[in-house]
Structure 1
Amino acid sequence: MSKAFTRETEQDDEDLALAPLPAGGKNYITPVGYERLRAELLDLIDNERPKVVEIVHWAASNGDRSENGDYHYGKKRLREIDRRIRFLTQRLEIAEISNPSIHHGSDQVFFGATVTYVDDRGEERTVTILGIDEANSALGQISWISPAARALLKSRVGDEVNLVTPQGLQVLEVLKVDYPAPDAREDLKQ
């Protein structure tokens, strides 16, 4: 069937596929990650979308839409924004905020920990275990459902854990575990 005869909503629903959570799992996220996603959602709703709607309205008023680049690009951008708004709304609705600072001073690995480990080849690496919607591997952040995070969770400084990789079994030794310090405002609330 030609793409011209497909409904946009079918395509939009496919694009909305959420990153998978483990069966019965929760969508853990740090307070910082939650606020970052929430700020993005509000910016899209309050700023970005109204600007694009205005451009599309202006372009539509110019007459012939068949060759109107501003109109076509604007409509495409509007669909992208709406798709992202739906995605963020769904993710924030199922988010379970977990504050890693409650473990400050602990040597055990939990959600939100920054862990330094050495592998069996002697390579040292530092990663922070975060939620699937906030982890960024380029910044040394890994999702709590990743194989490395699952291997490290609940271990302590000095423990050796096994990580199964496509190249075979790797042994990781936990060298250091850090958590963010509690926010002074949090102490006042308690």
Structure 2
Amino acid sequence: MSRGFVREDDQEEIPLVPPRADLPDGVTNYVTQTGMNALLDEKKELMEEIANLDSANESERRIAVNHINAKLQLLNNRISTAKIIHLHEQPKDEVRFGAMVVLRVMATNKTQKFQIVGVDEADITKGKIAFISPIAKILIEKRVGDKAVLQLANENRVFEILDISYR
């Protein structure tokens, strides 16, 4: 049947789901155990949300279920591709995935503290940066006392690694 003969109120609304944090094609989806736990908790919450949907209006319920299912599909893809990096197995004297790094910004002599985590766990307000971020990339394989240079548009920002830990 032609779409022209379908009543507008019978048409399903296509759910618009915001994409998850960017993970470039071909890049391994590294996660910490904390990051994996957060993904699994998110999945549990979405499943509970479906179970607790009000079924008073069947059309609205169907739209809500479609939206949640679309989010679950993206989430399940992240969970299935996740590679957990066990922090206790990382080299203690070198910056790697999962490292908590204390840096001195050479230009200001101020210190900053970051943990290098997976893209879904990254949250700059919590001091967690994605392993694919420019600053994380310049820190990987550095040791205490090493300097790392971040090339910005108008300057080079130099950092000195003061401490490395895995928690």
Provide TM-score, normalisation by structure 2. Answer: 0.82
Structure 1 residue runs without a partner (length 5+) = 61-70, 181-190
Residue 66 of structure 1 corresponds to: none
Residue 147 of structure 1 corresponds to: 134
Residue 48 of structure 1 corresponds to: 49
The offset of 1:48, in angstroms, is 1.0
Could you list the per-position Cα deviations for residues 58-94 of structure 1 after superposition, in whole angstroms to 9, with x for gaps in the alignment?
A: 234xxxxxxxxxx64x555434422221111011111
Aligned counterparts of 1:36 and 1:17: Cα–Cα separation in 2 = 14
8 A Cα contact 1:18 1:87, kept in partner = no
The offset of 1:40, in angstroms, is 1.5
Q: CA RMSD in A?
A: 2.5
Residue 39 of structure 1 corresponds to: 41
Provide TM-score, normalisation by structure 1. Answer: 0.73
Could you list the per-position Cα deviations for residues 11-58 of structure 1 after superposition, in whole angstroms to 9, with x for gaps in the alignment?
A: 64x74466132x53200001121122112202311x111111xx1x22
Which deviates the most, 84-93 or 107-116? 84-93
Aligned counterparts of 1:147 and 1:8: Cα–Cα separation in 2 = 39
Change (3 A) 1:179 1:18: closer
The answer to whether residue 90 in structure 2 is matched with residue 111 in structure 1 is: no
Could you list the per-position Cα deviations for residues 84-112 of structure 1 after superposition, in whole angstroms to 9, with x for gaps in the alignment?
A: 211110111111111112126x1210000
The answer to whether residue 159 in structure 2 is matched with residue 172 in structure 1 is: yes
Aligned counterparts of 2:19 and 2:96: Cα–Cα separation in 1 = 29
Please tell me the residue identity of whatever aligns with 2:23. Answer: P
Structure 2 counterparts to residues 25-104 of structure 1, below 5 A = 25-45=27-47, 47-52=48-53, 55=54, 57-60=55-58, 72=60, 74=61, 77-103=64-90
Residue 63 of structure 1 corresponds to: none
Change (3 A) 1:144 1:28: same
- Corresponding residue pairs, total: 158
8 A Cα contact 2:103 2:163, kept in partner = yes
Aligned counterparts of 2:19 and 2:13: Cα–Cα separation in 1 = 12
Structure 2 residue runs without a partner (length 5+) = 1-7
Identity over the aligned pairs, expressed in percent? Answer: 27
Residue 130 of structure 1 corresponds to: 117
Which deviates the most, 147-156 or 94-103? 94-103
Aligned counterparts of 1:164 and 1:76: Cα–Cα separation in 2 = 46
Change (3 A) 1:166 1:77: farther
Could you list the per-position Cα deviations for residues 127-152 of structure 1 after superposition, in whole angstroms to 9, with x for gaps in the alignment?
A: 00000011111100000000000011
Residue 23 of structure 2 corresponds to: 20
Which deviates the most, 147-156 or 93-102? 93-102
Please tell me the residue identity of whatever aligns with 2:40. Answer: R
Change (3 A) 1:43 1:149: same
Runs of 4+ in 1 over 3 A off after TM superposition: 6-9, 14-18, 74-80
